Amino acid sequence: MAVKTKDEVISLRFTKDHINSIKKLAQENNISPTKAAENIINNHLDVLDKCFKRQDMIIQRSEIKKLYNRFTKKELDPWIKTKYEPTVSCMQLFSPMLKFEEMTETMSSWFKQNGHHLYYDDKDGLRTITCANSDMGYNWLYVNGMIYFKMFNDAKHVTSDFKSDEESFEFKIKIPEQ
């Protein structure tokens, strides 16, 4: 039997806030809540497995660098769907369960790990999220910005004003009332 290394251990945490979502999902699929939770975990692990097998975070950066300034936003859409399916699916699965602040923190830590800077500013009930100082070029910023813009939208936060250029992306999110 192979010895599992520390890196292979994945921890998933369900909180009280997730219980209603799981119960609803169980009801819709006519299965027990335990089975519904098990399915979510299995799906999540499948998605992570695909990401790690393809070393997505390394592949996407070198590929986007090659594509720098070659495509318009519209032409990039099918490419995003093909290349980013595992990453996007992973977010779609769990982003509706994450709280507003958790989503910003998750996003912030991902960008820090990849050597980029994420800033946010709260004003008049809106949070402006900005990622800047990227050396990966326009397409990297556009694709990653769109993924997170979509992630907040999928989690039913009101997002608007997505902008991207060669130096940064930025979008706004309505801060939910606590």
Cβ atoms of 77 and 147 closer than 8 Å: no
pLDDT of residue 141: 78
The C-alpha atoms of residue 92 and residue 148 are separated, in whole angstroms, by 10
**What is the domain range of residue 67?**
54-174
pLDDT of residue 4: 46
Handedness of CA 97, 99, 105, 108 (dihedral sign): positive
In a domain, 16, yes or no: no
In a domain, 138, yes or no: yes
Residue range 13-28: average pLDDT?
73
In a domain, 80, yes or no: yes
In a domain, 141, yes or no: yes
In a domain, 48, yes or no: no
In a domain, 5, yes or no: no
Per residue in 43-94, pLDDT (tens digit) is 766 665 555 554 444 445 555 555 545 566 676 677 666 666 666 666 666 6
Does the pLDDT value for residue 31 go beyond 80? yes
Q: What are phi and psi of 122, to 5 degrees?
A: -100, 130
Number of domains in the chain: 1
